[in-house]
Amino acid sequence: MPEAAPEVEVIIEVPRGSFIKRGSDFEIDFVSPLPCPYNYGAVPTMIGLEGDLLDAVVLGPRLALGQLVRLPAWGAVTLTDRGLSDDKLICGVRPPSAREREQVLRFFRFYARCKSLLNLWRARPGRNACEGWIGAQQALARARPRGDEPPHPSVRF
């Protein structure tokens, strides 16, 4: 019998279709030339591998900025940015189809290539790559509970 998908609370930082990328403090990080194809947010109670809140993608229709949703995490994509690996939980009301999983992986492969170019232009060293799909339980096991301290990424992105 397959393991049940863990449920997580996700706060939406970038609604699907938005051009504005916000951080966990809701301050504007940058304005993208392309709209975000997914709702993007974070698990406010967990710290990811790079020291910031654990990232989460929410599949489905557009959600509001700041909306808090509780959903199953069906897997995760590991992204390496400037040499640091970071997991992005993939959440939704139902498991993603094989086609949806491939679309998510295709997006993060494209995103990693774009970040490589941006980091090259900014003279910021380090490898950028989409490392593939892992289980949600594995990603959650690599994260740590958030204490009272504010999250601090280990490098400036």
Calculate mean pLDDT across residues 24-51: 87
User: pLDDT value at position 21?
Assistant: 82
Calculate mean pLDDT across residues 64-71: 96
Beta strands in the chain (DSSP E): 7-14, 20-22, 28-31, 39-47, 53-58, 68-81, 84-91, 129-134, 144-145
How do residues 10-25 score in pLDDT, each as one tens digit? 999 999 999 888 777 7
- What are the beta bridge partners of residue 84? 81
Residue 42 has pLDDT above 90, yes or no: yes
User: pLDDT value at position 156?
Assistant: 57
pLDDT exceeding 70 applies to what percent of the chain?
93
Measure the CA–CA gap between 123 and 104, rounded to whole angstroms: 28
Calculate mean pLDDT across residues 30-45: 90
User: pLDDT value at position 1?
Assistant: 43
Measure the CA–CA gap between 76 and 99, rounded to whole angstroms: 15
CA-CA-CA-CA torsion sign (95, 18, 144, 126): positive
CA-CA-CA-CA torsion sign (28, 17, 115, 57): positive
How do residues 73-124 score in pLDDT, each as one tens digit? 999 999 998 888 999 999 999 999 999 999 999 999 998 998 888 888 888 8
Calculate mean pLDDT across residues 120-136: 90
User: pLDDT value at position 54?
Assistant: 96
CA-CA-CA-CA torsion sign (70, 75, 81, 84): positive
Domains and CATH numbers, the chain: 7-141 (3.90.80.10)
Measure the CA–CA gap between 117 and 133, rounded to whole angstroms: 23
- What are the beta bridge partners of residue 79? 86, 130
